[in-house]
Amino acid sequence: MAKLELHQVRKSFGNVDVLKGIDLAVDDGEFAAFVGPSGCGKSTLLRLICGLDEISSGQMIIDGQVVNDVPPAKRGIAMVFQSYALYPHMTVSDNMGYALRLAGTPREEIRRRVEAAARVLRIAEYVDRKPRQLSGGQRQRVAIGRAIVREPKIFLFDEPLSNLDAALRVEMRIEIARMKERLGTTMIYVTHDQIEAMTLADKIVVLNAGKVEQIGSPLDLYNTPANRFVAGFIGSPRMNFLIVQGHRLDGGRVRVPGGSVSLNTSPPEAAHEIGVRPEHLELCAPGTSNALDGRVAMTEHLGSDTYAYVALDGTDEMIVVRLDGERPISQGERVGVLVNPDAVHVFSTDGRTLVSAKPMARNAA
Amino acid sequence: MFDLSGTVSKVVFGLTLALIGLFLFFPLYWLVISSVKSNAELYSIVPTPFPTHPTMTHFVTALTTGKLPMYLFNSLIASGSSAALNTLLALYAGYSFAKYRFAGRQPAMLFMLSAQMFPFGLLLISIYPLMSEAGLLDTRPGLILSYIVFALPVSTYMLYSYFSQVPDELIEAARADGASDLRIFHTIVIPISIPPIVTVFLYSFMWSWNDLLYSMTLIVSDHKRTIGPGLLLTYLNEVNSDWGGAMAASLLASAPIVAAFLFLQRYFIQGVTAGAVK
């Protein structure tokens, strides 16, 4: 059981600053997910926590103890690598028991722990096989098993599911969720897949260009993003952004491409852009008052949902509207887009959130 | 690559291939058939393309009456030891060049590879006084040490290239599991690198085995002589030109290398790292 704290952790490679002062606390038993675009530093941060790379400055504390200079094996952590990194010449059970053998654990104890982990992960029948004789999913289980047998204080996962096919990924995601329930260990999970982050994590850390953009629960980030970056990163399809072209037409309205949008508050002076999620938009007849006018440029039918890409009048930009899956809609159709005033986020020029949508804003429809 | 649909191009291609084949294999063929010809047939005015009465006499004589077995044994000791030493050095050097970042890494590697650019004969000129100074002239250890110049640069580079492809994550996983650097190398990296290690061993073995110049220069006692100078001094001198014996002995001397390469070919193919990552 362990609490992890980072204070102003920085990492530079040569004169490139990869991490620019990270402050973060992950509580005992908490599942934290690091998300962000490629190159944001999320994997680097995980490697620092693991001890594979040294931090350039700052403090890393596990359970009240500064571990800046503690080697990986002494930190009480176990890491599951993206590529699994199984030892190809060893059997599954030797792979899983390697760390314990190095630590001088009695043979009987190793056998017991490996067997227990193999049973839980449903790979008990493969323990005498070599990694190359296993499927991708089985290899992933072995990699997780190798971490479990060490009974670490903190689990680290580096995009563990990215090499699996879609169906297996869902299966393993559920597996990891169950593991989190069962073990109750602190876990840190790096992913670029926001669905994994949203479904697994108690706490999501959004990173961008080596800095923390926001830390919060999945729904916090979805409902009240701290800035335009988080607003655009969390949610799928991503939030629609519209540049504000004129202020305070009358009271709580702003002019944007295709028409004007009502807000539930008077728009701040610095309002530069508004953001609305596709699920908070509704189609209506063209020319409806308070609606944006445009033309359906493209549609995507997913069965449960339909996404309509609407090109707003007087602009090249398209906004995405999420519709019921059964809703008939055809390309080229002229439509109006109704914006739920409670669901509008307002951002400043530098991307800060000026007005957040009301939590759990729901489509009027 | 080539369009071989036309008759002319097929014929030209076939003829060229046959010519190259003849050029490459005729000496080998002559070696084999000469070794089984009787002396009478060997020295007949008109050469015979096939042995009329194949005989194993030359082989029996070479193995029983001459010093060939001793030369072979000496070569085995010298080549085996130098190949082992060379492989050991190349292992550690190649791994450190591949997986560690230290000041002077690139220049050190270039410097080492540049040793390969000098003709071996030239290096011998400086090795000779060194060995003389160290009292290693006419000793097996001296010969074994000097053989390292043949293969070490290339061996190191071969293993460096291989180790560079060993995934870093594998090494990091072992480090996170608590293994020291040397332990990682010995228990993870070496076991998955057997094919390139065997290749490097055989490569350096072959160079030493085929050597004539160094052994001829550095060894003077007959009982320490290796196969190259041994063959030359036994079969081809002013008083003797036993061609049949020379051919049979040459065949016997090349047998270990041929066998080694047959073995190596089988070994190459398997991808031992399969299943490590992805």
Residue of A52, A146, A154 to mutate for B, most B C-beta atoms under 10 A: A52
Contact B176 A51 (CB under 8 A): yes
> Integer distance in angstroms from the first to the last C-alpha of chain A?
46
B124 touches chain A (CB under 8 A): no
Query: How distant is the alpha carbon of residue A62 from its chain centre?
Result: 23
Residue of A83, A105, A141, A144 to mutate for B, most B C-beta atoms under 10 A: A83
Residue A335 exposure: Cα atoms within 13 Å on the Cβ side: 26
Report the residue of chain A nearest B172, measured CA to CA: A52
Q: How confident is the model at residue B274 (pLDDT cuts 50, 70, 90)?
A: very low
Q: Is the peptide bond before A237 cis (omega within 30 degrees of 0)?
A: yes
Nearest C-alpha neighbor of B67 from the set B244, B229, B240: B229
Q: Which of B177, B192, B272 lies closest to A98 in CB terms?
A: B177
Tell me what pLDDT residue B238 has: 67
Average pLDDT for B33-43 = 84
**Residues of chain A contacting residue B192, judged by C-beta atoms under 8 Å apart:** 87-89
Average pLDDT for B218-236 = 89
Report the residue of chain A nearest B179, measured CA to CA: A102
Tell me what pLDDT residue A359 has: 65
- Average pLDDT in chain B: 87
**Domain ranges in chain B with CATH number 1.10.3720.10:** 61-269
Q: Which of B177, B272, B277 lies closest to A102 in CB terms?
A: B177
Contact A86 B174 (CB under 8 A): no
The pLDDT of residue B201 is above 50 = yes
Tell me what pLDDT residue B182 has: 95
Contact A281, A296 (CB under 8 A): no
Tell me what pLDDT residue B64 has: 84
Q: Which residues pair with A79 in a beta bridge?
A: A156
* CB-based contacts of A328, cutoff 8 Å, min separation 6: none
Tell me what pLDDT residue A290 has: 81
> Integer distance in angstroms from the first to the last C-alpha of chain B?
33
Q: Which two tokens stand for residue B235?
A: 């079969």
> Rounded to 5 degrees, what angle do the CA atoms B155, B159, B163 make?
170
Contact A103 B188 (CB under 8 A): no
Residue with tokens 């070479």: B62
Average pLDDT for B192-218 = 90
**Residue B104 DSSP code:** T
Average pLDDT for B8-35 = 90
Tell me what pLDDT residue A365 has: 37
The pLDDT of residue B270 is above 70 = no
Tell me what pLDDT residue B267 has: 64
Structural domains of chain A in order of their starting residue, each with its CATH number: 4-223 (3.40.50.300), 237-355 (2.40.50.140)
Average pLDDT for B88-97 = 95
Tell me what pLDDT residue A60 has: 95
Within 10 angstroms of residue A146's Cβ, the number of other Cβ atoms is 29
For B241, counting Cβ atoms within 10 Å of its Cβ (0-12 exposed, 13-18 middle, 19+ buried), the class is exposed
The pLDDT of residue B254 is above 70 = yes
Average pLDDT for B71-100 = 95
Contact A131 B174 (CB under 8 A): no
B182 touches chain A (CB under 8 A): no
Would you write out chain A's pLDDT as a tens digit for each of its 365 residues? 689 999 999 999 988 999 999 999 999 999 999 999 988 999 999 999 999 999 999 999 999 999 999 999 899 999 999 888 999 999 999 999 999 999 999 999 999 999 999 998 889 999 999 999 999 889 999 999 999 999 999 999 999 988 888 888 888 899 899 989 988 899 999 998 888 999 999 999 999 999 999 999 999 999 999 999 999 999 888 999 998 887 665 667 888 888 888 888 877 878 889 999 999 999 998 888 888 999 999 999 988 899 999 999 888 788 999 998 888 888 889 999 999 888 999 999 998 998 888 765 444 43
> Rounded to 5 degrees, what angle do the CA atoms B72, B76, B79 make?
125
**Residues of chain B contacting residue A139, judged by C-beta atoms under 8 Å apart:** 275
The domain at B61-269 falls in which architecture? Orthogonal Bundle (1.10)
B277 touches chain A (CB under 8 A): yes
Report the residue of chain A nearest B177, measured CA to CA: A99
Tell me what pLDDT residue B138 has: 93
The pLDDT of residue B278 is above 50 = no
Q: Lowest mean pLDDT: which of A143-152, A177-186, B72-81, B263-272? A: B263-272
Within 10 angstroms of residue A213's Cβ, the number of other Cβ atoms is 23
Q: Which two tokens stand for residue B128?
A: 């000779």
Helical spans, DSSP H, in chain A:
42-50, 92-102, 107-120, 136-148, 166-183, 194-200, 218-223, 228-233
Tell me what pLDDT residue A248 has: 60
* CB-based contacts of A57, cutoff 8 Å, min separation 6: A8, A9, A10
Q: What is the pLDDT of residues B120-173, one digit of tens each?
A: 888 899 899 999 999 999 999 999 999 988 889 989 999 999 999 999 999 999
Nearest C-alpha neighbor of A265 from the set A339, A360, A342: A342
**Residues of chain A contacting residue B170, judged by C-beta atoms under 8 Å apart:** 85, 87
